[in-house]
Structure 1
Amino acid sequence: MAANSSGAQDAPLDGSLLGTEDLLSDWYIYEPLEPAVPQDDMFPSAIPECDPTITPRLYHICMAPVSLVVLMGLSLLVKRRRLHQSCWNGVPGLLSPANFLEEESNRGPVAAVFGILFSSLCVLVLDQDPLPFLTHSSQSSREYWKILALLYYPAFYYPLVACATLGHRLGYLLGCLLSWCHCLVHVWQKVDCPQSPKIYRYYSTLSYLPIIVCLLLLSLWYPALLIRSFTNQEDKEVAGRGYYKRYLKALLSKRLQKGSSTKLEESFLSRLQEYFRSYIYTPEEGFHIPLKLILSMTTAVIAVYQVALLLLVAVIPTIQIVRAGMTKDIVVLLVQFGLVPSDNPAVPSDMEKELSTAKYYLWSLEVCYICSLVLCCLLTCAMLLRTLVMHRSNLRALYQGAVLDVFYKAHILRPSRRAIVCWMSFAAFQTAFTCLGLLIQQVIFFVCSVAFTFLFVIPLQAGTSSPLFKAIQNMWPFWLTLVVAVLVQTLAAHYQFLEQHPLRKELTNRRALYIVTYLLFPINVLVGVLAGVWRMIISGLYNAVHFCQLDISLMNRGVETFDPGYHSYCHYLKIEVSQSHPVMKAFCLLLLQPARPEGSPELQASNVEEGIQLMQAKKAARSRGRFQQSRARWWLAYTLLNNPSLTACRKTALCDPTANGTQLSPAKP
């Protein structure tokens, strides 16, 4: 009996176990994926590791000593004694990478090398082996190697920019060889191994694209400099002399236009065109933006590309994988949670319509993500162009001494420790703020686009009312009350509470004004809630869009100094204006210009004709010399008027207003 009972008890247990196993086996069936999606596109890990013919380790082992030898050779070629006689007693030292405070220099190679450095930083952050010399580094020591790599890559690419700064044919030749070697190796590596399993199969190739483009630019720029050095045999001028002369010439040639063609009332189309022109930087004659701004804009554009590429390849392939692997079993769960609408959720066998709806939802997410990313990139580039326009406007205002047109309070335009630090880090700040601004914009615009799509677009397409529409429909008395209250206050303020006279406006019906203010206070509280929500949305969108602009502060004027981006920009302007003022540089170059002999030595006149000719020539020479002297004095006066801080650098006798028999006019209010 016991045996029978035990057998009777075991029978249903075994049957239940078998039923459970059948249920589990049915639940965990992996349906085959659609053949339209390749296996390698869905799973990046399926892509095998590819070792190029010239590995990164071999490339750096060979090129690092070559770069070091080139840098030492260039340092020996140009003695430190030629640059600074009192520095290190003439011992050869490192060459300057670029003359950042000079206007005329080889800007192309400098911008290209900075683009290579930033792209290398983007690759370095996501790479498992920060230093190419080391492979399979441990997780604990990887962060230390990344810090060391941050110092290695600037030193590795240092000769590429130092060859252009040297201004010598040998430097241009070495720059050609180095740029060609770097470019050929990078192109060969990506042609040999275009795919990699990191993030996405083509991410490695696409992330190295800015490096290859910059190296191609260097490969073409250095041969052009070398050819120009053989064709141009003229003596080299002081750096920036040509630009400073052109700036002063353009400044002095401006004339006030007779008559004003400005209309009091402009059309809407003309105002719209003027608004769009304010976002487009067009070069102007006689003005060059500083080198630091070119570097910041170059790295900022590359930052937009790198961040957008990372955001694209990190999300879109994942959405495509989920959409391709969507099965009916997953749709059943989505229907049970109410994420996918179903006509008959009690019958899970017929889920073809729900499956297509779920795939359509995922496709909508993908479209929203791509559209928001494109919009963010366009807005960021537009803000960067607007930044260039504002930079030029601010620099020209400070060149003219209009400090209050740029800063809200008076600033002394002179260098300081904080200004030097901000000037050094300005380009890096601009790049970092561009990256963060693009990330913030993508999150905000993606959420807004998804909410608009799933709350408005999809319900309208499906013909069903969304929960938002139902809430608005049920609350129509509330919305109508708010609208009527706002209209009543507006009309009463226009017709009853404001008395308009030809020259002034006065309040009237004050008792009625007080009564309406008291009665509408509760309704105005609700209107204030909506206004507060709108204020939060507008301020968030405005700050997100203008986050990459350092020329404006995202804080109030009283706390502008707590904005690190704007604080860095203000001090950057101080250094640029105090050290690279074009009129000041032109004045200094005019003082350094050697005096030319005027006229010819006195000759004995043999007859009256020759004497008259000599007298006329001598008189012409005197008048020409007097004209040059007068023009030089006028330039000096113009410089001192627009740059009062230079007065302290002159002789103390000239600071006395009566030293030359002149009196200063009273200051204008």
Structure 2
Amino acid sequence: MREEVDRCLPFQVPRWATAMVQFLSALEVALVLYPTFICLTQESSILGNLMGFGYTLAWFVYQVVRTSENQTKQLPWYRYPHVMPLPSLLCTAYLVLHFLFLFFKVQPMRQHRQPPEEEKWPVVPHHNIQYVKRLLQPTVPIGEKHWFQRRVYEWDSCFRFPARMLIMAVVALNGVYTLSFVLMVMEISFSRFLNMWFGVPTDFPRGAAAISLTALVTVYHICQTMAQYKCQVQSLYRGDRSVLPKTLPRSSTALTWSMRYIGMQFAYICISMTLLYPVLSLAIVVFQQFIVQPLREGNVQVLFQTLGDILGNVVPVLLLTFTLRVISRRFFLQDTLSAWDEEKPLALNSIRALENTSYFCLFYFMILGLVQSSFIFLSRALLGTLMFARLDQAASLSGLRGHFNYGNLAWVSVLLVDSAHTNPTALTFCHLLLTTRTVGGARVWLGGARRRWWLCYTLLRNPSLVELRRQGSPPPPGVC
């Protein structure tokens, strides 16, 4: 990282200023792209759409010219194919067309502009209104689901992903595309190094298969992250907070960590691809060496011998475990108290026999424990590598989750912030409060609405007060 910083600057950077230079470099990139962000946030603005169209079109032309120069340029020290920024070009082209479409859409609407009183309050999105209508229905008809809904993903017309998650998905897919080319260059360089110095023949199809599997697994994790976000946010909309950990961050902490989510998710995905690539390459080498190679050479006996060695070590362990379970049920546990009991009580029948059996099995279980602990370590390392990109899964222990798993803290913070500010029921309720009040009796109406709101909140928090609440109209004066 320090060499990359020094290469971008015309002077030597001190070690203590590396972090500051990286921050300023990131700020420079943000300032360059900030006009596009400003133009996107200007709704129904002819000037904003026109400026956004011009700025993004200039960027698109610059990217096309720069890409064509890099593809045709032949450097003496670089003999590999250059990465074509195809996702970036597609995104920039989409922004150009988006601003152009909004410009021609907003211009006719200006001729029939609504009065300022009708534009005073923000409009609730259509999918939020549909969500509230579905909640008010006594029974929701369940239609027949398609194969894609049953097996892959069940979409919901009343839910829309926020801009934060869409940006994360686009940036992550762009990173997967770019990093796949980087891994391909690394594979070619490493294969040439082994062939030059050790005489090992190059096997580019194996490397291409490993890179393809790495990219597919990472894309699968991105899709699972989006689906998990939808599921957990909808649970929070319903008031089900079981998806959250027991200890929640403070409001200021949650807001701070929610701003870090996109950057942290992108970094975790890149590191996950870097870790997955050698693991999948090793798995492909093992599969090719022990399964494909014997079958290709017609030496099936070696394959059956390897399978027999594995079964010869696994079957006795399974038989011993099953035998001990049968012996414990038959001889070491007392009989059931009644004929309707399915399981015997945990009451010992022959303590002396149990102690002798435990003594003779002790030393064997020491050896078995070493083997099983090694297997558990390898399996957890493999699963941790495969699930490293999933910030919604807490990888650390439950007692150390808040100290070491900062990725999961960012995920929980995003859920808290988005569920609090995108809840369709709360947004529709606030919209009705703002749009249905009258100008003359606004203070009286809002006062009654505020009292009813606190009454509803109090009764929900204290259900026992429902029975003590006075029903009906108040009695006339002077009547007890």
TM-score interval, smaller chain: 0.7 to 0.9
Residues 474 and 151 of structure 1, relative CA distance in 2, 3 Å threshold:
closer
Letter in 2 for 1:379: V
Among 185, 188, 195, which residue is 1:313 paired with? 185
Pair 1:211 & 2:94 matched: no
Q: Structure 1: where are the runs of 5+ without partners?
A: 1-121, 132-136, 262-269, 332-357, 598-628, 648-655, 664-669
| TM-score in terms of structure 1 length | 0.57
* 2:64 corresponding residue in structure 1: 187
Q: Distance in 2 between matches of 1:455 and 1:372?
A: 17
In 2, the alpha carbon distance for the partners of 1:643 and 1:464 equals 76
Aligned positions of 1:333-482 closer than 5 A: 358-359=200-201, 362-363=202-203, 366-403=204-241, 405-409=242-246, 411=248, 416-458=251-293, 461-462=296-297, 482=317
Greater mean alpha carbon deviation, residues 463-472 or residues 142-151: 463-472
Distance (Å, rounded) in 2 between the aligned partners of 1:661 and 1:473: 79
Give the corresponding residue for 1:253.
137
Cα distance, 1:435 vs structure 2: 1.0
Q: Which residue of 2 aligns with 1:77?
A: none
Tell me how far apart the structure 1 counterparts of residues 454 and 162 of structure 2 sit (CA, whole Å). Answer: 23
How big is the shift at 1:253?
A: 3.1
Whole-angstrom distance in 1 between the partners of 2:301 and 2:206: 19
1:480-499 to structure 2, matched below 5 A, reads: 482=317, 484-493=319-328
Letter in structure 1 aligned against 2:8: P
1:524 is aligned to 2:403: no
Which residue in the other structure is 1:62 paired with? none
Identity of aligned residues (%): 18
What is the total number of aligned residue pairs between the two structures? Answer: 440
For residue 400 of structure 2, what is the aligned residue in structure 1? Answer: 559
Q: Does residue 1:230 correspond to 2:107, yes or no?
A: yes
C-alpha contact 1:383 1:549 (8 A) present in aligned 2:
yes
Larger radius of gyration, structure 1 or 2? 1
Question: In the TM superposition, what is the alpha-carbon distance from 1:520 to its structure 2 partner?
Answer: 1.9
Q: Secondary structure at the match of 1:210?
A: helix
Q: Is the 8 A contact 1:383 1:548 kept in 2?
A: yes
Is this contact kept in 1: 2:276–2:385, CA < 8 A?
yes
Map Cα deviations across residues 4-54 of structure 1 (whole Å, 9 max, x no partner): xxxxxxxxxxxxxxxxxxxxxxxxxxxxxxxxxxxxxxxxxxxxxxxxxxx
Alpha-carbon offset, residue 252 of structure 1: 2.2
Partner of 2:175: 303
**Secondary structure of the corresponding residue to residue 194 of structure 1:** helix
Which of 496-505 and 471-480 deviates more? 471-480
Q: Where does residue 161 of structure 1 map in the other structure?
A: 37
State how far apart, in whole Å, the 2-side matches of 1:319 and 1:220 are.
43
Aligned alpha-carbon RMSD (Å):
4.4
Work out the CA distance in 2 between the residues paired with 1:643 and 1:576.
Answer: 26
- 1:548 alignment partner in structure 2: 389
Counterpart pick for 1:287 among 159, 172, 188: 159
Measure the CA separation in 2 of the matches of 1:518 and 1:408: 42
In 1: Cα distance, 2:373 partner to 2:466 partner: 58
- CA distance 1:423–1:480, shift in 2 (3 Å): closer
Secondary structure of the residue aligned to 2:55 is helix
TM-score (norm 2): 0.76
The aligned runs of 1:518-667 (5 Å cut-off) are 518-562=359-403, 563-595=405-437, 661=470
Is contact 1:456-1:466 (8 Å) kept?
no
Contact 1:583 1:639 in 2 (8 A): no
- What is the correspondence of 1:138-149 to structure 2 with a 5 Å cutoff? 138=11, 140=13, 147-149=23-25
Letter paired with 1:416: S
How far 1:425 moved relative to its partner? 0.7
- 5+ long unaligned stretches in structure 2: 440-444, 473-480
- For 2:272 and 2:266, locate their aligned partners in 1 and report how far apart those are by CA, in whole Å: 10
C-alpha distance after superposition, 1:221-247 (max 9, x if no partner): 100111111244464575561243233
Q: 1:158: Cα distance to partner? A: 0.8
Give 1:175 deviation, angstroms.
0.9
Q: Look up the SS of the partner of 1:288 in the other structure.
A: coil
Task: Decide whether aligned partners of structure 1 residues 638 and 220 sit closer, same or farther in structure 2, where only a CA change above 3 A counts.
Answer: farther
SS in 1 for 2:341: coil
Residue deviations 1:622-654 (CA, integer Å, cap 9, x gap): xxxxxxx9xx98xx7699569979x9xxxxxxx
Structure 1 pair 125–387 and aligned structure 2 pair: CA distance change class (3 A): farther
User: Does structure 2 retain, via aligned residues, the 8 Å contact 1:200–1:314?
Assistant: no
Q: Is the 8 A contact 1:485 1:523 kept in 2?
A: no
Per-residue deviation, residues 443-479 of structure 1 (Å, max 9, x unmatched): 2222232233334543554467999999998999876
Q: Secondary structure at the match of 1:303?
A: helix
- Name the CA shift for 1:545/1:174 in 2 (closer, same or farther; >3 Å): same
d(CA) in 2 for partners of 1:128 and 1:571? 35
Alpha-carbon contact 1:437-1:544 (below 8 Å) kept:
yes
Letter in 2 for 1:241: V
Map of 2:8 onto structure 1: 130
